[in-house]
Amino acid sequence: MDISTKWVYTIIRPMPGGLSFTQYSSMFLSSHLDGIFTYMLSNPPYSLTGTQSTFAAPLFRNAFMSHYAGDEKISPEEQTKVDVLGGISPQLGGVLRSIRTDLPPADNKVHIDLK
């Protein structure tokens, strides 16, 4: 069995503000994930301070967006920020490292031998 995925770059419906579908979808998902992660990180069991949760939320947003896209690569700058968060909360740093670890099989295209 061969499984492959494809990116959706455009849809027929116009997007608000004249944005492209990819711009709008990225902006929409980013803003909603930031809110969710800020809320989750500010409350138990994590209870980060406002500054800490504001720092950490985009790291989780970026990790989940790259994971959902099938591309867990991380830039050196982002890795440095994850390391800083790991100093604040080893548990949260570990979660981000886990999400960013891209295990086989390759993303977006896989062959499964059903024999």
- Domain ranges, residue 74: 19-103
- 98 falls within a domain: yes
Q: What is the pLDDT along the chain (115 residues), one digit of tens a residue?
A: 998 888 899 999 999 999 999 999 999 999 999 999 999 999 999 999 999 999 999 999 999 999 888 878 889 999 999 999 999 999 999 999 999 988 887 788 888 899 8
- 4 falls within a domain: no
- 108 falls within a domain: no
Phi, psi of 9 (to 5 degrees): -100, -30
| Domains: count for the chain | 1
Report the pLDDT value the prediction gives residue 105, as an integer from 0 to 100. 79
- 9 falls within a domain: no
Report the pLDDT value the prediction gives residue 49, as an integer from 0 to 100. 96
Report the pLDDT value the prediction gives residue 48, as an integer from 0 to 100. 96
Instruction: Give the C-alpha distances (Å, rounded to integers) separating 60 from 6, 7, 14, 26, 51.
Output: 24, 22, 29, 15, 15
